[in-house]
Structure 1
């Protein structure tokens, strides 16, 4: 069985589309009918995220931690207990491609670190064009990149256990896991083949995550335009 983990904190606006995308990925012909289960970890949700997830036939588990590392760890353990041989991780504001799971497994490795793309920069208003240009200039969306995103990550059950799983970190839990996997000697594919589209929202769920990096990038670009320090940093 293949397991998909989606951490969520008040994501009723996006979770339906996210789960529709994971559902399509679970039915890809290359998976040869292998069972796929998706679990949404409801972390301190105060909205209808859980109701929507249940209506989409996803498993759900509830925690009250406001900690994305713990949310991913809880979801992973639940799926491992149900027999998952492969764990795929994404986010509730992300749409995975139809061949997302198939592309991860086709790489025939223990760990897959994928890239992200953004289709809609409009949440950044008048700075949308500036940020899109920054992202295009600094983000390496190609084979051999070195980005780590919890929104596009896959790992075999054996490797996940060997590395000790996700640490209960409020941010950068994905980076810590990949570092532990590398230290454990796991084979890692840094690939742009498994595709996901994530949001450019400005209301970060995890301080220090992708949304925060985008806001910092906007601030830096504006500073440069005003004659401040140059040398734009890449979005991780």
Structure 2
């Protein structure tokens, strides 16, 4: 079984698009009908996020940590206990490509770090977009790490100690631990996710704050 973990804090405006894209990826013929279980980890939600998750018949877990590392770890642990051999991670404000899961597994690696595309630049200046694209390497062996586009074999995840309980950069810490234990990591540009460039970002020091920082430089 393949598991998908989606942490969410008040994502009623975005989660449906995310779930639709993951469900489409779960139907890819290369997966050969292998079951895909989706877990949405609600972290301190007080909007309609849970109703949307339940409408799509996904597994819902609830934490009150306001901590994305805790949320991802909770979902991953649950799926591994349920028998998942592979854990794929994305974010509730992101949409995965239709071959997202198929391409992760095709590498035969212990972990796959994919790339992200910004879905809408309209909230940012042309200078921000230019600075971002100049610094981003959308190619194989890119070395970018995104919690919105990360896949890990369950055995490697456990060997590396899982996601740490950090409010940001939990993805980076896990990948560095994977490197330390000798995991085979694929740095893929064929594993793709479209993600939000919104200004009301959920995780401090995350992707949204990175874009804000580029705006400061541009000004």
Q: Answer yes or no: same fold by TM over 0.5.
A: yes
Q: What's the secondary structure of 1:6's corresponding residue?
A: strand
How far apart in 1 are the matches of 2:210 and 2:118? 13
Q: CA deviation at 1:184?
A: 0.8
Q: Does 1:208 align with 2:215?
A: no
Q: Whose strand fraction is larger, Structure 1's or Structure 2's?
A: 2
> What per-residue deviation string (whole Å, max 9, x for no partner) do you get for residues 36-57 of structure 1?
0000000000101011011011
Q: What's the secondary structure of 1:205's corresponding residue?
A: coil
How far apart in 2 are the matches of 1:135 and 1:207? 18
> What per-residue deviation string (whole Å, max 9, x for no partner) do you get for residues 191-230 of structure 1?
11111100001112110000000000111111xxxxxxxx
How far apart in 2 are the matches of 1:53 and 1:46? 14
Instruction: Tell me what 2:9 maps to.
Output: 9
Choose from 128, 138, 142 the match for 1:141: 138
Instruction: Tell me what 1:56 maps to.
Output: 56
Q: What's the secondary structure of 2:88's corresponding residue?
A: strand
How far apart in 2 are the matches of 1:137 and 1:161? 36
Q: What's the secondary structure of 2:4's corresponding residue?
A: strand
Q: Does 1:194 align with 2:209?
A: no
Instruction: Report 1:1-236 matches (<5 A).
Output: 1-124=1-124, 127=125, 129-222=126-219
Q: What's the secondary structure of 2:167's corresponding residue?
A: coil
TM-score normalised by L of structure 2: 0.99
Gaps of 5+ in 2: none
Q: CA deviation at 1:157?
A: 0.4
Query: Higher Cα Rg: structure 1 or 2?
Result: 1
Aligned residues: 219
TM-score normalised by L of structure 1: 0.92
Q: Structure 1 residue runs of 4+, over 2 Å off?
A: none
How far apart in 2 are the matches of 1:50 and 1:184? 37
